[in-house]
Structure 1
């Protein structure tokens, strides 16, 4: 996909709780840029944030995580709607895979195989989109080409974030988690050496513990930490977002934050 900075258009903005949110389009892509409302033009590190399956770039969980990164760290955050999510149309392939997932979940069948397969398909489409979006965002004076970049994505955000981090040297730290082991995905994870923070739920009804642990083990990073909490798949504690903010502050700023 060939997209240029000149096609990045801000289409609207809102400000709340000290955070300025500007919607943008880049060709057919849609997303949002989050920055400090009182100093939106000040240069600061950028965190790319991928959303989970079935949500979008401005879902409540995304807004909450962006708030912590903007207000707590002074960072810029960029979110992007994945293919078939938000206002982006679904393909016939998307519809078939989603319908199959929903049928399996309704009958209590395991969904790991279909989720991994479908998310790998989405990642093939989404990674080039993220690369083009990062190119465009770095043309903004408040971000620039020299500043550090992190990636934050759980669930589907991890399925996209692993191949993205593996091919994009500008990403120097990543928070990931809540996803299944797959041979192909693990092989990609073995190419990642940047610092990693990885979250799992001990009582996840969808992701078997050995599967999640094996994916964490696959990363080649010398610095990686595993955060395991009790609870089911959608019960990740909110304090993990605070931990992610501290992680990025340590790795994307000179002085970091004290624990």
Structure 2
């Protein structure tokens, strides 16, 4: 892991890094408390489709998790996003998805196609990043959690199912299409967010994904509003959820 820069503000240190890996360098960012010393829980944050590791919502949420819970937080650019190179196949899939959004078509199958295309690489990269960060003195190999909405959920479900070091997850804003069998492998505590008036994810599909999760400890948070209108209060609620399960 090679650190590129480090900046500090309001008690939080932000470090940009790259990690060499099979598919090329993984660009990422790590947030820790300014006075961090010794091991602490780590939260992996998966961004939404078309976004990147430093999307405004990711940064704000990460800084709140660090400030309120003393967590370390890491985000990386998903394959074909942010500072990553884009492949022709991804460009075709993304164009088809944008076309469906513009015409108001059902997005479930197209979202599943996008997420399936990215999943194997994304899961392998997240596991490599988790290992590398666990070797840092300011984080250590402590318990990990995962937070991801929309595409972050589509890539997060298979990651949480595959990675035993992840002990709790906050997921949501996605339907069950293509994920039922994988969701049934998840047994860690889950908080699931659903927007009641989501224009991209039909309510019944989101409820079906929640139902498919095999976790005995799972809660559904449904809020009024569209896809991108999750209340800011859910960040504080997620921070307390992680604090309970990553002690």
User: Which of 148, 153, 166 is 1:158 aligned to?
Assistant: 153
Partner of 2:244: 250
- Structure 2 match to 1:131: 127
1:38-68 C-alpha deviation (Å, 9 max, x unpaired)? x133421111111111110111110111111
Contact 1:56 1:81 in 2 (8 A): yes
Which residue is equivalent to 1:4? Answer: none
Counterpart CA distance in 1 for 2:214 and 2:104 is 34
Q: Which residues of structure 2 form unaligned runs of 5+? A: none
Which of 185, 188, 191 lines up with 2:185 in the alignment?
191
Query: Is contact 2:38-2:140 (8 Å) kept?
Result: no
- Structure 2-normalised TM-score? 0.96
1:237 corresponds to 2:237: no
Post-superposition shift, 1:110? 2.2
TM-score by length of 1: 0.91
Which residue number corresponds to residue 11 of structure 1?
A: 4
SS at match of 1:242: helix
* 1:105 shift after superposition: 1.5
Mapped partners of 1:243, 1:52: distance in 2: 20
The answer as to 2:117 corresponding to 1:121 is: yes
- Given candidates 72, 79, 82, the residue that maps to 2:78 is 82
RMSD: 1.0
Runs of 4+ in 1 over 6 A off after TM superposition: none
**Distance across 2 between alignment mates of 1:130 and 1:106:** 32
- Decide which of 169, 177, 181 is 2:172's aligned counterpart: 177
Q: For residues 190-213 of structure 1, what are the alpha-carbon distances to aligned partners after superposition, in whole Å with 9 as ceiling and x for unaligned?
A: 111100000000011111111000
Shift of 1:108: 2.1
Find the partner of 2:48 among 47, 52, 56.
Answer: 52
Aligned twin of 2:137: 141
Q: Give the distance between the partners of 1:117 and 1:100, measured in 2 at CA.
A: 10
Q: Is the 8 A contact 1:10 1:25 kept in 2?
A: yes
Q: Is the 8 A contact 2:43 2:145 kept in 1?
A: yes
1:71-120, CA deviations, whole angstroms, 9 ceiling, x for partnerless residues? 00001001111001111011011100111111121222222211111112
Matched positions, count: 243
CA distance in 2, matches of 1:168, 1:152: 14
1:228 counterpart residue number? 222
2:205 aligned residue (207, 211, 226): 211
Residue deviations 1:124-159, cap 9 Å, x none?
2100000111111111122222x1111111111111
